[in-house]
Chain A
């Protein structure tokens, strides 16, 4: 399978500290790749390298299937917003965008206005960016990343400082762009928001990718469920099917995960008791991306 962006054992060291340690990620075309990790995990370093701002100490990466000098020709297809939005404070929003248009050889003078409207800044085209609020700066940074209709957009904490309405509009914007075929790599601390749009995740901790999975795989692992441990697993399966449960999974350790009708735990225990099957344990689990990440990190750290 070919990827829009693929890293192969990327390592980055700062002095003795390894910021990235053999990181390999695989971002497919049209993916919204959520990069999840706590502060100092290596997210920004990885984004800087893939965004062309830093060199890896070792390892390689390819973009649009190209590496090295060949890849350089595709740099214009990449848009980035890493750390701060990077604005010229003595210019207004339109000027900031127009200057980038000039740098990229875009001649359509309507482009900055379109982008300003796209990110919800259409009503302040002439306001100097030094007078912008933090959220407005982030929006303009996002617009700058979208100049030239890039096919790959790398966004580091793009919704930091946004109000709830702003978060929704950014989410909608990203989703709309994805439908046009744009691929995103997004890091965010607001995992709840990330989980609403991401199609694939890379979990990073201490400079290592500890897990990479698609949203479907992740949902299987962490969606809300009833965890049931019966005395007789095969018989219990027949009974729960009989009372209307279809979406369930039997794990190797004798646990049955049921992913629907979570309010019917009482019905399950009653039905099992009627057939003389003991319910050793039954619990409702509401696991979100954040919980999953914490468990994952704790598990890996425990192993180390």
Chain B
């Protein structure tokens, strides 16, 4: 299997499409750096942080499409057959697929992380150094009329920002885990139906939350509630992670981090095992 992994990675590294996403991220980062000016403020920083998780959706779509195109190309040309004659079973190839897609997803996540968090750190430092703080001036008297009670001290702001930053990193890491779950789901669907077109469509529908929204709407239509389902869905679960987020009129409790971790690890294990078992049962050609 080590040989197969080496072969797959070699092919991936030689593929132009594989490098397209990291290159775009690096270019964006460079543009971002060059375009930094004195107008930087807290709002812009928050936007950068919000971007950190949103950009992962794009990474999931790119990674999903890259991997499916890669597998279908192998299957279409029959190269897989050449290899299959020499491995102990088809499930070995599925394990290789799971590992490679996980690595690609992690690789893209690292680029996203660098893009978002590194730039945030740099911007934050710049902002503090140049005292370009608009929302939280030195005293409450300087706040706009009617907003005096919202004033917080500079120290309090730093503290809250650090906490938010910390939470965003946790959220980011959980989202990466969800990305891995989605890759396992795509491997499972591909093994199940062996249709590249179906897999492409599913990558887009799942990563853009279309399927989840459909499920939520159906559940709401039938039961008039969404909580029991939403709490367990891949993306919607994050509403329950952030204690400040709200669904409708209700404030969410902010469930402990470990519950999300355990739930997503279970999803990952179940989907990966199913993909391996299905490929074991199915004929290759």
State the A residues within 8 Å of B (CB).
48, 51-55, 69, 72-73, 75-76, 78-89, 96, 99-100, 102-105, 141, 144-145, 148, 150, 154
Contact = CB atoms under 8 A, between A and B. Distances in A.
B82 A80 contact: yes
A70 B207 CA distance: 42
Interface string B115-148: 0000000000000000000000000000000000
A83 to B, nearest CB: 7
Contact of A86 (B2, B6, B79): B79
Given A54-B285, A87-B77, A89-B77, A100 B82 contact: yes
B62 to A, nearest CB: 20
A48 B6 contact: no
Nearest to A80: B85
Contacts of A105: 2-3
Interface string B192-211: 00000000000000000000
B254 interface: no
Contacts, number: 90
Contacts of A100: 7, 82-83
Contacts of B81: 53, 80, 82-83, 86
**Size bracket, chain B contacts:** 20 to 34
Interface string B74-110: 1001111111111111000000000000000000000
Contact of A103 (B3, B78, B281, B283): B3
Interface string B59-85: 000000000000001100111111111
Interface of B: 2-4, 6-7, 10-11, 73-74, 77-89, 281, 283-285
A54 B283 contact: yes
A207 B33 CA distance: 69
Contacts of A96: 79
Contacts of B82: 80-81, 86, 100, 141, 144-145
Contacts of B78: 83-87
7 contacts: A48-B284, A54-B283, A79-B86, A82-B85, A102-B6, A102-B7, A145-B82
A53 B86 contact: no
B85 A79 contact: yes
Contact of A75 (B3, B73, B88, B284): B88
A79 B85 CA distance: 6
